[in-house]
């Protein structure tokens, strides 16, 4: 009897600790600091740089616009910045997450500092945590000037009246999401002449490692970086990211720089039209037409950096239909 009482007290104590922890996580986090007092000067150079980044490097427009999934790689089909793309349980996400509207229709009431904090730390205007399908953990490692440029560009987008639903994370992610935002650790953009360092910076901006690795519970599995294998689920089956390490049998070790660049630039050709994908067939989530707009020297820098990454032997089965 005494043992049962002791056990009961221990369990009650554990429950109190768990409840207290949940209350703390829900009430005190996220805590990345206040939005900075910031006003971005809308210079032509910043707007042009931001347009390039948002459409071809950080590819903000990939998620925050409408894509035509009836065509290969889902090219943009309108609604630039209007948001609404859904990331759901059927796709392997722990809840329903919706890319917000980032046109002035929504952001006119946000300060530049609030946008800056959301992009670089994952905390929105209202102090709520953003799910890291948004790459704030990467954008917070970039040069602040590049973030200013993106803000300058999206400030000039045409307003699109589109009221996006609130995201609905499943339990326990609805608690854990508050632990995910993190303070930024900015760096300076390397000189373009330092190809490897500049390529590493660009890969941080593009998020190649986020998709071209194995993932578990939303995080990259250490040791699998760039080796491919992330799964993109759909009702029709599974698409997996390829191995982009320089392994000669299972990666891109036999590719030349010219072949790598050409693979992207083919999608930027003025004559290119994304082919139709038959109903029931699997499609590539890779936004080829967006990344295809990257400058040749930037693609070359990414290739130079990938040549420094440890080759991983990993044969990826790219597509499996249900």
Same domain, 45 and 179: yes
Average pLDDT over residues 85-99: 91
Q: Which residue has the higher pLDDT, 104 or 2?
A: 104
284 found inside a domain: yes
Q: Is the peptide bond before 172 cis (omega within 30 degrees of 0)?
A: yes
1 found inside a domain: no
> Confidence class of residue 181 from pLDDT cuts 50, 70 and 90?
very high
First to last CA, the chain: 56
What sections of 29-143 are H helices per DSSP? 44-52, 60-63, 104-107, 112-121, 136-139
Average pLDDT over residues 240-252: 98
Return d(Cα 321, Cα 79) in angstroms, integer. Answer: 30
Q: CB-side exposure of 42: number of CA atoms within 13 Å? A: 9
The residue among 152, 167, 189 that closes a domain is 189
pLDDT, tens digit, 9 for 90 and up, residues 108-146: 999 999 999 999 999 999 999 999 999 999 999 999 999
Same domain, 44 and 89: yes
Q: What is the pLDDT of residue 26?
A: 46
Q: What is the pLDDT of residue 95?
A: 94
pLDDT, tens digit, 9 for 90 and up, residues 145-176: 999 999 999 999 999 999 999 999 999 999 99
- Centre a 10 Å sphere on the Cβ of residue 288 and count the other Cβ atoms it contains: 18
4 found inside a domain: no
- Domain of 271, in residue numbers: 192-322
How many domains does the chain contain in total? 2
Same domain, 129 and 229: no
Same domain, 137 and 238: no
> Confidence class of residue 215 from pLDDT cuts 50, 70 and 90?
confident
């Amino acid at each position: 009897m005494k043992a049962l009482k002791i056990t009961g007290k221990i369990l009650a104590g554990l429950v109190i600790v768990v409840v207290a922890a949940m209350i703390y996580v829900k009430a005190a986090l996220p805590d990345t600091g206040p939005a900075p007092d910031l006003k971005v000067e809308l210079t032509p150079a910043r707007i042009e740089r931001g347009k390039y980044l948002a459409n071809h490097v950080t590819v903000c427009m990939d998620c925050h616009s409408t894509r035509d999934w009836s065509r290969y790689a889902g090219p943009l089909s309108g609604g630039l910045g209007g948001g609404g793309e859904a990331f759901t349980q059927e796709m392997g996400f722990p809840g329903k997450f919706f890319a917000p509207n980032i046109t002035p229709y929504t952001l006119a009431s946000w300060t530049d500092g609030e946008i800056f904090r959301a992009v670089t730390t994952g905390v929105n205007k209202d102090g709520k945590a953003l799910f890291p399908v948004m790459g704030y953990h990467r954008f917070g490692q970039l040069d602040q000037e590049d973030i200013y440029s993106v803000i300058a560009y999206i400030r000039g987008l045409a307003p699109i009246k589109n009221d996006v639903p609130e995201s609905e994370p499943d339990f326990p992610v609805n608690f854990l999401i508050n632990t995910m935002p993190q303070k930024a650790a900015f760096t300076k953009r390397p000189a373009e002449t330092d190809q490897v360092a500049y390529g590493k910076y660009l890969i941080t901006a593009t998020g190649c490692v986020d998709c071209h690795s194995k993932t578990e519970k939303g995080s990259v599995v250490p040791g699998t970086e760039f080796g491919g294998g992330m799964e993109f689920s759909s009702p029709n089956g599974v698409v997996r990211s390829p191995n982009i390490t320089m392994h000669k049998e299972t990666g891109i070790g036999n590719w030349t720089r010219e072949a790598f660049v050409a693979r992207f630039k083919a999608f930027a050709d003025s004559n290119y039209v994304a082919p139709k994908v038959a109903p029931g067939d699997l499609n590539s989530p890779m936004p080829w037409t967006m990344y295809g707009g990257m400058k040749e020297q930037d693609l070359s820098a990414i290739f130079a950096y990938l040549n420094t990454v440890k080759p991983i032997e990993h044969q990826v089965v790219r597509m499996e239909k249900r």
